[in-house]
Structure 1
Amino acid sequence: MSSPPNPPIVAVVGATASGKTGLSLGLAARLGGDVVNTDAMQVYRGMDIGTAKLAEADRDGVPHHLLDVLSVREPLTVAEFQGWARGAIVRLRAAGRVPVLVGGSALYTRAILDRFEFPGTDDAVRRRLEAELEEVGSAELHRRLREVDPEAADRILVENGRRIVRALEVVEITGRPFSASLPTLEYVDPASVQIGVDIDRPALDERIARRVESMFEQGFVAEVERLLDEGLAEGRTAVTAIGYREVVAHLRGELTLDEARERTVVATRRFARRQDSWFRKDPRVTWLRYDDPELVDRAVAVVSWSGGLPG
């Protein structure tokens, strides 16, 4: 299918391991599009096995963008990623290509699609909160966040110390809840379409368990060892990734290999539930069953019904 004169922006959303990657490839092939990664951790070079990053040979000839951009030492912010992704979308559409966004970072997807202005930052406040995170841990800072901004606390994992620090920083410097600065349900470009991959929890839990088992069989521990040599532990963002932090703990002697594997499964399932909850609250998402044999056809039809394709 050739691209329309004014290509839509298509986002494939849903829980990790639900089948978003396969659908994104099918859609890009059918619509004349490129895949734009919206997974915060696939931005990092070398974080391949643990992020389920598609090898180039498995991309079916579909061009991919925003993969392997940073070293594991470099931090990443939502604001920075928003700029990169929106720039890629402008370039693709100017070339008549359909951007197909896909990835597991729900906030990043919303930041790209929706009106989202970022509050400022204060280096002194940030450094103080980061020092407190190091001293008392993320659970204590998460408890403090719940006291001042329960909605933000509900949206941020207890383990995600970096985002907890950012939320507390925004509350302190603006006097407003961090949740008030989150994206509104208003597309920057009305030619945006979100397609959700709908999967029942038992099937998803099983797929996550199989994925994690496969990761460890493929050499995940060796990948983490290599990345530690490249500065993973010194980075502020990459080291927080699910699976990587558990394997780092194993390599430090804090967990057995079996414990690291099991904790990765548990953390991934918890993360998947939060992803699903986030997207279910968005009434603009059209949900399609993960196991529908006509999934790609139905997704193309959704884009067409949304006015993104010529009749």
Structure 2
Amino acid sequence: MREVEAKQKLIVIIGPTAVGKTKLSIELARRFNGEIISGDSMQVYRRMDIGTAKIKESEMEGIPHHLIDIKEPEESFSAAEFQGMVRKKIAEIAQKGKMPIIVGGTGLYIQSVIYDYQFSDAPSDPSFREELERQAGEIGNEALHKKLEAVDPESASRIHPNNVRRVIRALEIYHCTGKRMGDFQSNQEPELLYDTALIGLTMEREKLYGRINLRVDLMMEEGLLEEVESLYHQGISGCQSIQAIGYKEIYEYLEGKSCLETAIENLKQNSRNYAKRQLTWFRNKMNVEWFDMTDTDMASKKINEISQYVEGKLHLKSNTY
């Protein structure tokens, strides 16, 4: 009987914004001779650094990082495109004898890579799609999302109103087939393609929310307003990247729809809501090993605990520092 080929080993770090994924990823990369792949759908965009909490070169400690700054803000980026890029990058990193480590908070994107997940091959209707795109511009994202909620509440609960492209795709599938988007995926067995150590970071909610609020204040100090103003004055608007939290709120201020103070408060609120949705999504969709990072004074001990989990799960030996 032919021996089954061993799966490629892979470390994945997920969790809500501001929970401490970046620090952990650097430490695990040092210990396990790793290279890091960004699992964030917005860090792919150039010139969008502060608002996406992109890691600074000085913080990388010489660890190679991939899938950062590979798109212009005007370009679209899909989970299917991400899937292809990351699977290729995992193979390249492994070929060098290094450990691939995916780090991020965009759940669907990461799920699409590590599971044998096929994107819907449901039929399409370009004219219907164009009509919905026109409607989105006229009635707004929330109103379009309510249309989806009326026919496919499950998809509506998973898709944020500002993810207009995906809202439209779900409506298009229903229009063409009378079925919900989930109906095309429900019969798929979620088989892991890699020998994966799937690490989730969590934190007591009030502490996490405090860190998110502080992060937004630091972003403003670091020049978030100037970063967004630069994009705005370049005429970049109406595209996927500008729907990101941290950009859409400042755009509302620049367009005269809110004052700056309100924009900052909205940014904090939207970030907190997003963190809550991230945690819910990860808990419902993936088999994650969770680690509580609430006690920041015990961070080193927690990192050692996570490192030991990775060693046991993947049968690895870490470098100790």
TM-score by length of structure 1 reads: 0.92
Q: 2 CA distance for matches of 1:6 and 1:278? A: 26
Measure how far apart 1:132 and its partner are.
1.3
Measure how far apart 1:308 and its partner are.
4.5
Instruction: Give the count of matched residue pairs.
Output: 306
Q: Is the 8 A contact 1:7 1:97 kept in 2?
A: no
Measure how far apart 1:175 and its partner are.
3.4
**Correspondence for 1:110:** 111
Of residues 202, 208, 215 in structure 2, which corresponds to 1:211?
Answer: 215
Aligned-residue CA RMSD (Å): 2.0
Measure how far apart 1:174 and its partner are.
4.0
Measure how far apart 1:283 and its partner are.
5.5
Identity of aligned residues (%): 36
Measure how far apart 1:310 and its partner are.
5.8
Q: 2 CA distance for matches of 1:167 and 1:244? A: 25
**Correspondence for 1:241:** 244
2:258 corresponds to 1:255 = yes
Matched to 1:307, the amino acid is: L
Matches within 5 A, 1:106-255: 106-120=107-121, 121-181=124-184, 186-234=190-238, 236-255=239-258
Q: Secondary structure at the residue paired with 2:109?
A: helix
TM-score by length of structure 2 reads: 0.89
Q: Is the 8 A contact 2:38 2:103 kept in 1?
A: yes
Matched to 1:298, the amino acid is: E
**Correspondence for 1:306:** 313
Q: 1 CA distance for matches of 2:11 and 2:130? A: 38
**Correspondence for 1:99:** 100
Q: 1 CA distance for matches of 2:151 and 2:193? A: 33
Which structure has the larger Rg? 2
Matches within 5 A, 1:15-164: 15-120=16-121, 121-164=124-167
Q: Is the 8 A contact 1:113 1:188 kept in 2?
A: yes
Residues 223 and 91 (structure 1 numbering): CA distance in 2 closer, same or farther, change over 3 Å? same
Q: Gaps spanning 5+ residues in structure 1: where? A: none
Q: Secondary structure at the residue paired with 1:276?
A: helix
Q: Deviations over 1:198-229 (max 9, x none)?
A: 20100110000000011111111110111223
Q: Gaps spanning 5+ residues in structure 2: where? A: 1-5
Matched to 1:287, the amino acid is: W
Measure how far apart 1:79 and its partner are.
0.7
Of residues 269, 285, 289 in structure 1, which corresponds to 2:272?
Answer: 269
